[in-house]
Amino acid sequence: MVTYVAANSGAKRMPGVIPLHGEEGFAGMRKAGRVTAEALDMLTSYVLPGVTTAELDRLAFEFGQDHNAFPATLFYKGYRHSTCTSINHVVCHGIPSDRALREGDIVNIDLTYIVDGWHGDSSRMYPVGEISRKAERLIEVTHECLMRGIEAAVPGNTTGDIGAAIQRFAEAERMSVVRDFVGHGLGQLFHDEPNILHFGTPGMGPELKPGMIFTIEPMINLGRPQVKILNDGWTAVTRDRTLSAQFEHSIGITETGNEIFTASPAGLFNPLTTRR
């Protein structure tokens, strides 16, 4: 079904061909992931009622300029921003704008930096002031979905084991998994093989092997899983307008488990653990 090849600088994405990275790739991803996580940490104290998502986007660009990091989304397929900022019922790919955040909003900031040619891709949820109990529960469950997906991302398991772990937990909590967007391989490419579905059947899909590098980035809805794209061609929203949340890490499969490249040095990845 799939083939595995030694990662090759300059190679293009090929359907069914999964690159296996060596120590050089892991070192590059460690650096790119760290700067990305530091930027998402830096943004934490700016996410307050009254700030615009355009201002947060500018802060992410400037932080990159100061840290040898360039946003992968800037000029990507016609996208013109450094981040995606997805508020409340926006599932993903929200476009930074002059809309000010309001008390009670929840916002996902998704940032990918390129550092020395390697891509660090991560996103988190940020509460704006005090948020509702149901928004807190959604954020907590979505974070737990990502962490359960990562726990399943070990050599010998398959991509289906990751999706199944996420789906099982989300649905047990009476929430739903968005089907329209997937995690993805990355490295010197922004989006590479394999696709990582956030739902599925244990044992299905390609086997995970040491050297694979990919994101896991589940989007979880309080209501139904269906999404629609707004007329701007980017913004994905829940069809039933219920709240949606997402967390994303970039990870690498090792001989014994995995390495998270985008872990927060300040321990700020899950905003709810640090607020209590």
Site for ligand MF3, rule CB under 6 A: 73, 76-77, 79, 84, 93, 110, 112, 121, 215, 217, 234, 248
- For residue 20, the minimal CB distance to ligand MF3 (Å) is 21
Between 93 and 148, CB nearer to ligand MF3: 93
**Nearer residue to ligand MF3 within complex by CB, 36 or 238:** 36
Choose among Co ion, ligand MF3, none what residue 79 binds, the Cβ cut-off being 5 to 8 Å by kind.
Answer: ligand MF3
Stretch that binds Co ion, among 97-105, 225-233, 247-255, 258-266 (CB under 5 A): 247-255
Q: Are 213 and 186 in contact, with CB atoms under 8 Å apart?
A: yes
Cβ(197)–Cβ(119) below 8 Å: no
Of 112 and 158, the one with the shorter C-beta distance to ligand MF3 is 112
Q: How far is the CB of 53 from ligand MF3 (least distance, A)?
A: 13
- The site partner of 208 among ligand MF3, Co ion, none (C-beta below 5 to 8 Å per kind) is none
Q: Is the peptide bond before 194 cis (omega within 30 degrees of 0)?
A: yes
Among 110, 136, 144, 161, interactor with Co ion by CB under 5 A = 110
CB burial of 175-190 (b: ≥16 within 10 Å; e: otherwise) equals: bbbbeebbbbbbbbbb
Q: Catalogue the long-range contacts made by 222-230 (C-beta closer than 8 Å, 24 or more residues apart).
A: 222/134, 222/138, 222/175, 223/176, 224/176, 225/176, 225/177, 225/178, 225/179, 227/91, 227/178, 227/180
What 3-state class would DSSP assign to 138? helix
Angstrom distance (rounded) from CA 130 to CA 48? 10
CA torsion, ordered 249, 227, 272, 152, to nearest 10 deg: -40
DSSP conformation class of 123? E
Position with the least CB separation from ligand MF3: 73
CB of residue 218 to ligand MF3, shortest distance in Å? 11
CA distance 196 to 203: 13
Site string for Co ion, 9-48 (x = CB under 5 A): ----------------------------------------
Q: How far is the CB of 93 from ligand MF3 (least distance, A)?
A: 4
Output the smallest distance, CB 121 to ligand MF3, in A: 5
Nearer to Co ion, 33 or 206 (CB): 33
121 binds Co ion (CB under 5 A): yes
**Contacts to Co ion from residues 206-235, by CB under 5 A:** 215
Could you tell me the smallest distance in angstroms from the CB atom of residue 92 to Co ion? 8
DSSP string, 59-113: HHHHHHHHTT-EETTTTGGG---SEEEEETTEEE-PPP-SPBP-TT-EEEEEEEE
Return residues touching Co ion (CB under 5 A). 110, 121, 123, 215, 248
